[in-house]
Amino acid sequence: MGVPIIHKYSKAQAYHGRTIPLVLIGTDSGKQYIMDRLAIDVPGPRYFHFPLDKPEQDAVNEVLWNRGYDEIYFQGLTAEEKQPQKKNGRIVYRWVNIAKDHRNEPLDLRVYNLACLASISPDFSKLKALMTGAPTEEKRSADPRKRPRFGVIKRGIE
């Protein structure tokens, strides 16, 4: 535990001397963050909102109306729990799959989505303004010229 959600950026070797970007994710931190947010009962900051429509539709439309959030999804989302285990004389915490069918894809995908969100760190106020059509003012720098990458800043003492 204790590893941030975006742990490390590196490159891995691919074919013909090419490299591919590799991002190591702190899955333990991500799972703990998700479980902490699932424990929040009151809608507000950090509360997970699952859009569910009215269940008065037939069975076929119910899957479409609930946008994929059915009982199987929530079983997969809560398929793991953190349990203490003894390793080399120390107590460490491990995430153990407790589901009968061992399906935990919704939890894993939530962790990956959280890591993606952390890596791009979007400006939500700008996104909200774009969605609502509100005018946004862009900050422009006073000096649009590029700064030199090297050179003399001062010529010395005169």
- What's the pLDDT tens digit per position in 17-57? 889 988 889 999 999 999 999 999 999 999 998 877 665 55
Nearest of 97, 93, 74, 77 to residue 85 by alpha carbon = 93
Give the helix/strand (H/E) hosting 153: none
For residue 73, what are the contacts with CB-CB under 8 A and spacing of at least 6?
Answer: 106
Give the pLDDT confidence score for residue 142 in this predicted structure.
65
* pLDDT, tens only, 65-91: 667 788 899 999 999 999 999 999 999
Nearest of 5, 59, 67 to residue 37 by alpha carbon = 5
Separation between Cα atoms, residue 77 and residue 70, nearest integer Å: 11
